[in-house]
Structure 1
Amino acid sequence: MAKAKKLTKGQLRRIKANHDKKLHGQKSKTKQNEQIHWQDNELSAPQTGTIISRFGQHADVESSEGNIFRCNLRRSIDSLVCGDKVQWRQGKETEHSISGIIEAVHERDSMLSRPDVYDGLKPIAANISQILIVSSVLPVFNSDIIDRYLVAAEQTGITPVIVLNKVDLLTEISQEKQNEIEQQLQIYRNIGYQVLYASSKSNHGIDVVKDQLASHTSIFVGQSGVGKSTLVNALMPDLGLLTQEVSENSGLGQHTTTVARLYHFNDGGDLIDSPGIREFGLWHLTPEQVYHGFIEFSPFLGMCKFRDCKHQNDPGCALIAAEKNNEITTKRLASFQRILGSLGENKLTSRFND
């Protein structure tokens, strides 16, 4: 009688899983996945990949060939987000849809984080080269929100680009409101920020935005209702991201992105679409960090009469003097003062929504 062939470790695991299933019923996929532990000889050689999406203790990794594999994470990995470059190894066999394991995260060129009441700074995405701050004509154009995003962007060192969306609706607002919006956008241009105009409905400016995205890894930020997902759909018509209309009651859109995901543009460039920008408060920053976020204020840093100047009505305030001399704008100074005033508010209420 021929000697029975020795079962592989993978076959033994499947036999045990089937046995447990019969005894105790179907286990959740999550628990099954947690039980997968490859031995070193069951894994291929280490290779470099990019995190496309993260799901709890699992992540989708894109290989250098463009294939996507769902992987477990080594316990030693304490932070992993979309855009991360990682070292991973593919399993010789796929177990419960898990194809490999992520072993290490390469050093990040940049990281976008948001403050979390319980976890401190929480990473959102990595290796981003530009942040597109999306505002819109309707439901309301809010320069204070743009200023807050600019402060957050300046803290990361990632280049911000301002996008005015829904320009097809300009005809639905008064000429006075149109002039106010254009005057504010000109302030940003004078400071040195790039401003783009777009409309997914009329397709105005879509090609210009595409060109801006072509050589970057980008992320879109902005309040609900400004049309971020609709704009992404116009830029990537094959993607089919879910969108919802602006609520007539609140004037705000509803968040339709549920899991952060990295997408590739056909003409080059990547986009990370993330729900993690819903809460992007500045309450964790110091007044000095906010000061640095208003880049045109830099010539006046340290020039106030008193070191503890609050930049409100303090005597000898260099910023107030600069505003009177038309070296900085009244609107930006007022926005800066409002942000400083909000830093002491309760952490749970001082956030602002995307």
Structure 2
Amino acid sequence: MSGQARVVARFGAELILRTESGELLRAVSRRNLVKHGPAHLRAAVCGDYVRFEPGDGDKAVAVALQPRRNVLVRPDHRGRPHAGAANIDQVLIVIAPLPTPDWGIIDRYLTAVAALPATPLLIVNKSDLLEASDARLIADTEALYGGLGYPVLRTSAKNGEGIETLRERLRGHTSLLVGQSGVGKSSLTRALDPGLEVRVGELSALSGEGRHTTTVAHLYALSSGGDLIDSPGVRDFAPYQPTADDLAAGFPEIAECAHDCRFHDCRHRAEPGCAVKAAAEAGRIPPSRLRSFLELEGNSA
């Protein structure tokens, strides 16, 4: 058996593939599916399409990597570039009343999404748990990012708020689910597709890695249509060495103001005549956004 398949998960040199007929296969991968380019982009990752051929025993062999539309690259624990998922249409950034939303993490996600590029969707999950103490921060978060043009959706796995809207949004697309640990990603996926637990169990049994593997991204076919990539929960996130164009795309309101700075190479820190600082002081640019921009600019390529 040979043909094209999509990478559902990767465990070292081993892959779980989904064929065009929907069958799941175990496979081994050739060392470098792409001969040229950075080392971290030569191996197949979750969401990739590969060509495969029969191998020895019960495993197929991935022999070639198909061209990618995009690939999400982030630093690993040593600061080296690491490819995590590919061929992504949209990224669902999940926040919740607890843990408290961190605007810096949201901004880093949005910059990474802009660099792909892909379409972002900010999801305020566990909306049924909102109390007076949470409501102001959540409302401020929705107002901030909604005001910048980012779509925002409230969801609740408990009472069903927003679930059907989100299900329709996912249909026909490959969506990446990201967010801090504890924001309710698992309950959200179960609400979207109650039968997903069975397929998660099948995948875990096939991989031999166990049901509680939390360090590997998995791609799941939703019964309502579309593919969902569930990434490990993270406490922090940053795109890998964002370029000036990435920052401009991730912070369009800052990029627009920067055209009016006195110096074309203004870094918006201590330079005189900085239109960005003036806009922040006047309340036209939220201080949290400028802080996030300056932090990422310091890590840029």
Normalised by the size of structure 2, how large is the TM-score?
A: 0.82
State the identity as a percent.
40
Q: How far apart are the structure 2 equivalents of 1:109 and 1:262?
A: 16
Structure whose alpha-carbon radius of gyration is higher:
1
Q: Is 1:51 matched up with 2:7?
A: yes
Q: How many Å apart are 1:307 and its aligned residue? A: 4.1
Determine the structure 2 residue equivalent to 1:113.
73
Q: How many Å apart are 1:324 and its aligned residue? A: 4.7
Determine the structure 2 residue equivalent to 1:104.
64
Decide which of 250, 254, 257 is 1:300's aligned counterpart.
Answer: 257
- Superposed CA deviations along residues 126-152 of structure 1, whole A, max 9, x for unmatched, are 111001011111231222221121112
Normalised by the size of structure 1, how large is the TM-score?
A: 0.71
Q: How many Å apart are 1:261 and its aligned residue? A: 1.5
Q: Is 1:86 matched up with 2:86?
A: no
Q: How far apart are the structure 1 equivalents of 2:237 and 2:47?
A: 19
Change (3 A) 1:277 1:51: farther
Decide which of 179, 184, 197 is 2:154's aligned counterpart.
Answer: 197
| Contact 1:164 1:196 (8 Å CA) reproduced | yes
Determine the structure 2 residue equivalent to 1:11.
none
Unaligned ranges ≥5, structure 2: 34-41, 202-211
- Superposed CA deviations along residues 152-173 of structure 1, whole A, max 9, x for unmatched, are 21121111110011111113x3
| Contact 1:54 1:259 (8 Å CA) reproduced | yes
Decide which of 112, 115, 123 is 1:163's aligned counterpart.
Answer: 123
For CA contacts below 8 A with separation 6 or more, give which structure has more relative contact order: 2
- Superposed CA deviations along residues 89-136 of structure 1, whole A, max 9, x for unmatched, are 234xx61x32x2111010001111111255732110111100101111
| Contact 1:260 1:276 (8 Å CA) reproduced | no
| Contact 2:97 2:129 (8 Å CA) reproduced | yes
Q: Which amino acid aligns with 2:252?
A: I
- Superposed CA deviations along residues 289-323 of structure 1, whole A, max 9, x for unmatched, are 43442122232334322344331343211212333
- Superposed CA deviations along residues 236-288 of structure 1, whole A, max 9, x for unmatched, are 2222369xxxxxxxxxxxx9634322101111110011228565324633566
Write out aligned runs for 1:255-334 (5 A): 257-275=214-232, 280-282=237-239, 284-285=241-242, 289-324=246-281, 327-334=284-291
Q: Which amino acid aligns with 1:315?
A: P
Determine the structure 2 residue equivalent to 1:125.
85
What is the SS of the residue equivalent to 1:185? helix
Q: Which amino acid aligns with 1:215?
A: G
Change (3 A) 1:200 1:64: same
Q: How many Å apart are 1:234 and its aligned residue? A: 1.8
Change (3 A) 1:114 1:334: closer
Q: How far apart are the structure 2 equivalents of 1:301 and 1:61?
A: 46
What is the SS of the residue equivalent to 2:25? strand
What is the SS of the residue equivalent to 2:152? strand
| Contact 1:124 1:276 (8 Å CA) reproduced | no
Q: How far apart are the structure 2 equivalents of 1:62 and 1:48?
A: 9
Q: Is 1:143 matched up with 2:100?
A: no
Q: How many Å apart are 1:331 and its aligned residue? A: 4.0
Q: How many Å apart are 1:47 and its aligned residue? A: 1.3
Determine the structure 2 residue equivalent to 1:179.
136
Determine the structure 2 residue equivalent to 1:19.
none
- Superposed CA deviations along residues 54-111 of structure 1, whole A, max 9, x for unmatched, are 12222122111111111121233231111111111234xx61x32x211101000111
What is the SS of the residue equivalent to 2:130? helix
Q: How far apart are the structure 2 equivalents of 1:148 and 1:169?
A: 26
What is the SS of the residue equivalent to 1:257? coil
Q: How many residues align?
A: 280
Q: Which amino acid aligns with 1:62?
A: R
Q: Which amino acid aligns with 1:102?
A: A
Q: Which amino acid aligns with 1:83?
A: G
What is the SS of the residue equivalent to 2:196? coil
Q: Is 1:134 matched up with 2:82?
A: no
